[in-house]
A and B are shown apart, each in its own frame.
Chain A
């Protein structure tokens, strides 16, 4: 039963982006509970913010909201692998009581401890015009009919929660590149698939031509492995890539 089993966490902490001197690993020892995940372990720390050596510390700061892997908040590096902390069950990731390491994502500006600033991802959604150009919210009757097949292709693409896993995993996303990353390209595919979204396909394609767009992809295929929602990101990039090529060759003819 819930004996004296303990779990050990090692957390990479830093008080703020300008405070690199505060960067440090801190170790924590926490009582084990059934059904425990990384989030509930962090919750234990804030109830009793002491390190494993008994010294007092501040509670670890982290992002979380839904805790069921649908809001995209709690992305971090768990044992070096980018994922949602809420679905990281302790018994699965440390079955024999191994020390679990937690660190913030590295491709986004740090806010504090495990929190990073992912606003660029939302800005990118503006760049690629990831929306339907709606005439208005007033009553205009039903939308265009769609086949079940179309829905079954679109729905998985639409489950992207802007969590950042794919950007973190992608070698092409880094300080020296302007590559927009898989998430935004997947949105281009999604909206270009929709019967009314299609009408503005060209604008989206023009936004993702070139190095910062589809050509930035190095085909490492890490994204599709990292995506917690199993979105076929590689297919999406390939698809959008084909669309841009076609648009480049014939687009002006169709204008």
Chain B
């Protein structure tokens, strides 16, 4: 077949790329594709403007160094790699940190209402794992503001006509078509196992359809709902990642799950209190007296134990999240020194996060969005009462394995079709769903950045891929699409016909309970074995689900059964990965193996799916693989590229330990006693 040259096929169809997910990563990918002249079909579970990225509060990192502290992309690279306990491949991180200032400037040009300095420049604040003011922010709803800016640009492309290579508009075809309130079910794979499109379901009519795509990019975000209540949106079940994993995509470093130290309890969700609160000077403490009965605000200064500041004078309240979460757990769980509850007569798993010493107008301008959440949901005024907070599952460092091509200066070759490519030909991934930028622990405010950078890289990579395809998805036999559609329709009617005794939401609760208790801050091999046995049991029982809703319209119950099954599969990847890794690194901590073991474990966990007996999933861990790319085969391994920053032990006790830069002058003073002015 002739190489496709035009964006319009002979039969008049527009050759589109499919992007699944309209969070920061997906939207950026779409913008980059449109700029390359490639039209897109964009799918999302919710209207893209409601994507989970709206939740991000604190900000986005970029070493612009407007405060004259000597910050630079090189320092940002070093601190990110160090914060991630050296598990991240370093070239993608370098690409990201060097691109960061440009990304923040682009967002600024798009109209993001970033906070300003008195000179009218962008303001920056501090976040965890660094001593520099590196985080740009828009109040305390930065994710929302970034998402809106990208959403607006994509909406603009919804009005732009597709042009053929002669510059003539193709009637009725716009650069972006949105398919909102559609659920991604799986890839359409041709005989050569190359992705040629997707199958998706309309969540209103429940219709299942296939869509051809020259390539597919998954930007479907994280999977926090596997742990039940977390800081994540309820749509973050990881279902799409799990679906492609089951179709052969490699899942990497699944065991690395970030627990955020500061969230508030709730019956439906654990709402985050952003790290920016500490970045602006918020302090964590518990009463020195474990039986302290007074309210937080009535406990005098001398009676407070600022335990992070004491143990980590260098970084204080802004130690990375893995460390902060472990320290909180130690205080509350092991030492029983959480805030005392007069009613129950017990020490709760809660500590104080205190901003009452900071000036109200600063709090209002910089943090009102977060403090408002506390006020609304905890029902207490955080301006006058220290907040009561505890750790919650927050972010997945692991995700779909993606490749990269390194440039001579140690960054990425922008436009290489290897960047963000999964091991399934034609399938790309970007955003929280990939594993690429954070190693064993993500630094705060690096995720919004990695999502956007991932999209900036995925877009051009896919454009190159599409331009070099031998054969268009639109020339693939229709039977390939029909088969995929039939497969998914049959699966769905299978779900509707389930009339067993198990309730899917209750099974989810049981899964979440063990995952949360035994597979987060502290992990023990013995309990992990039990977690895996529990997953076995739940997979078996999930065959006996009784569907409670058989409606043809907006059937959320049947959809959830599918998501649950996919969650169980990913849960196993997480738990089994944790079981296998007998060391402690970043967010993965085993009291039995306290040390980091670079000899055996400075490598990427690469998981491949296998169908087991009796409906059970089996994880096959590999040391490397070959994947197809534009007719060639690429060999990759689990070796981590540590060519830029040599691994060394992490020591956040000492100011400036995370990089070779001189710490900014006021930093030691600041971390010991945070300044009021951020």
Contact = CB atoms under 8 A, between A and B. Distances in A.
B554 A111 contact: yes
A103 B491 CA distance: 33
B46 interface: yes
Nearest to A145: B120
Contacts of B550: 58
Interface string B441-479: 000000000000000100000000000000000000000
Contacts of A15: 551, 553
B484 to A, nearest CB: 27
Interface string A39-74: 110010011110000000011010111111111110
Contacts of A43: 268, 505
A203 to B, nearest CB: 12
Contacts of A197: 111
A91 to B, nearest CB: 8
Interface residues of B, number: 75
A151 B113 contact: yes
Given A139-B105, A140-B109, A111 B116 contact: no
B308 interface: no
Interface in A120-165: 122, 125-126, 129-134, 136-143, 145-148, 150-152, 154-155, 158-159, 161-162
Residue among B49, B51, B109, B235 having the largest count of chain A Cβ atoms under 10 Å:
B109
Nearest to A17: B553
Contacts of B509: 47
A112 interface: yes
Contacts of A67: 233-234, 266, 268-269, 271
B106 A59 contact: no
Interface stretch (B148-156, B331-339, B534-542, B605-613): B148-156
B595 to A, nearest CB: 38
A35 interface: yes
Given A68-B373, A122-B49, A159-B144, A48 B503 contact: yes
Given A37-B268, A46-B556, A151-B114, 13 more contacts: A35-B267, A46-B548, A59-B548, A61-B555, A66-B50, A68-B55, A112-B554, A119-B47, A134-B153, A137-B31, A137-B32, A143-B111, A151-B113
17 contacts: A15-B551, A16-B552, A43-B268, A59-B548, A61-B554, A65-B51, A66-B54, A71-B55, A71-B233, A87-B376, A87-B377, A112-B553, A122-B155, A131-B156, A140-B105, A152-B365, A158-B148
Which 8 residue pairs spanning A and B have beta carbons closest together? A145-B120, A143-B108, A131-B152, A40-B268, A40-B267, A143-B109, A112-B554, A71-B50
Interface of B: 28, 31-32, 35, 46-47, 49-52, 54-55, 102, 105-106, 108-111, 113-122, 138-139, 141, 144-145, 148-149, 152-153, 155-156, 158-159, 180, 204, 233-235, 265-269, 271-272, 365, 369, 373, 376-377, 379, 456, 503, 505-506, 509, 548-557
Interface of A: 15-16, 33-37, 39-40, 43, 46-49, 58-59, 61, 63-73, 86-87, 89, 92, 111-113, 115, 117-119, 122, 125-126, 129-134, 136-143, 145-148, 150-152, 154-155, 158-159, 161-162, 191, 194, 196-197
